[in-house]
Amino acid sequence: MKIIVSGGGTGGHIYPALSFIKYLKTVEPNLSVLYIGTQKGLESTIVPENGIEFKTIDIQGFKRSLSLENIKTVYKFVKSVSDAKKIIKNFKPDVVVGTGGYVAGPVVYAAAKLKIPTIVHEQNSIPGITNKFLSRYVTRVALAFQEAGTFFPSNKTVFTGNPRAQEVADLIESGNVLSQYDLDGTKKTVVIFGGSRGALKINTAVLEALPELAKKDYQILYASGEIYFNDPEFAATFAAYNQEKNIKIVPYIKNMVEVLNDATLILSRAGATTLAEITALGLPAILVPSPYVTADHQTKNAQALENAGAAISINNAELTGQRIVQAIDSLLLDDQSYRKMAENALREGVPDASQRLYGVLKDVVNGQ
């Protein structure tokens, strides 16, 4: 099988694609994969590092307000469609899959115009502009959240979950990962992070919470983000509390999936990839949706889990150190509430998401 995958801009579009490719390699021994992204996006570094053939096109996103830049964007879109067609004709794929981000737009659109089977995968409960545009042309729309189905043609949608979930669910335990952070693997552990770059609001609230958290029997692993870890406003306090036995503060957690596998509770933003990971593990969560994302989709993502009894959601503007401590205590000091939330989280997980998406892919390739 020959497949082209396109998606980029953020890890939320890239990592599900990589997870699916990883799965495909286990079920398609003669698989040939080409990934199309942009030179400036995260995908230009991450994809080649994973040993996947990578080509680029030049494209940028539309501005949401009237702007002369949009004229340039239209020109780039037309040219990138032409460039994508050349790449597609040369590679001759059986199917093209888009996982979101503006780079997927011209690639999947070009494939559809060339009558090649196409799929877009929507990770969020509220879809982005690119996938809504492409839904008119593609063969199938795969959903990670059932709630997103209302935005797409019903005859094209199919619920698959997020491929990242299956990769996490299939993870082989790698021993006491927490010891790498000088933490006790036998203690209840709360992982707190605000995304790869960190989040100012979460950092400020954690700073307020540290005096109380240092007194607890449970332990904290906090990833502040590189910018905040070295910021004079936070650095001295972080360094001081790093001396506490039950607190470890780091700029970034590279082996996040393995860490979450050993965690008891997570406090984080509500990005689609994170939610796929924690539900696959049945990990209760305290979610603080970012208000700075398109269409406030993280709030909708968090509400979906909260409605299922799988998470607690706290509005970004209302987050304080006191709220953090109260929310953590409400779960870790109440075994019944914790167990119920863990069961609900696991129920929301889709541990066979890649397998489901592969079934959709086989159907469109076979003309079904």
**How many other C-beta atoms lie within 10 A of the C-beta of residue 319?**
22
Terminal CA-CA length for the chain: 17
Cα-based torsion angle of the residue sequence 44, 50, 52, 58 in order, rounded to the nearest 10 degrees: -10
Report the side by side order of strands in the sheet with 95-98. 53-56, 32-37, 2-6, 95-98, 118-122, 140-143, 157-159
CA distances from 175 to 180, 190, 261, 353 (A): 10, 18, 10, 25
Take residue 326 and report the two structure tokens written for it. Answer: 């109260």
298 is in an annotated binding site: yes
**Collapsed DSSP state (helix, strand, coil) of residue 262:** helix
Cα-based torsion angle of the residue sequence 209, 213, 219, 225 in order, rounded to the nearest 10 degrees: 20
Take residue 57 and report the two structure tokens written for it. Answer: 């096109």
- Give the separation between CA 179 and CA 95, rounded to whole angstroms: 44
CA pseudo-torsion sign 232, 233, 237, 242: negative
179 is in an annotated binding site: no
253 is in an annotated binding site: yes
Which letter does DSSP use for residue 9 in this model? S
10 is in an annotated binding site: yes
Closest CA to 183 of 233, 283, 253: 253
**How many other C-beta atoms lie within 10 A of the C-beta of residue 117?**
21
* Residue appearing with tokens 């042309």: 137
59 is in an annotated binding site: no
- The DSSP string of 233-260 is HHHHHHHHHTTSTTEEEES--TTHHHHH
CA distances from 170 to 54, 112, 122, 159, 257 (A): 26, 33, 22, 20, 11
366 is in an annotated binding site: no
- Give the separation between CA 48 and CA 56, rounded to whole angstroms: 12
- Amino acid code (one letter) for 283: L
Helices (H) and strands (E) in the chain, counts: 15, 13
Q: Provide the annotated binding site for UDP-N-acetyl-alpha-D-glucosamine.
A: 10-12, 124, 196, 253, 298
Q: Provide the annotated binding site.
A: 10-12, 124, 196, 253, 298
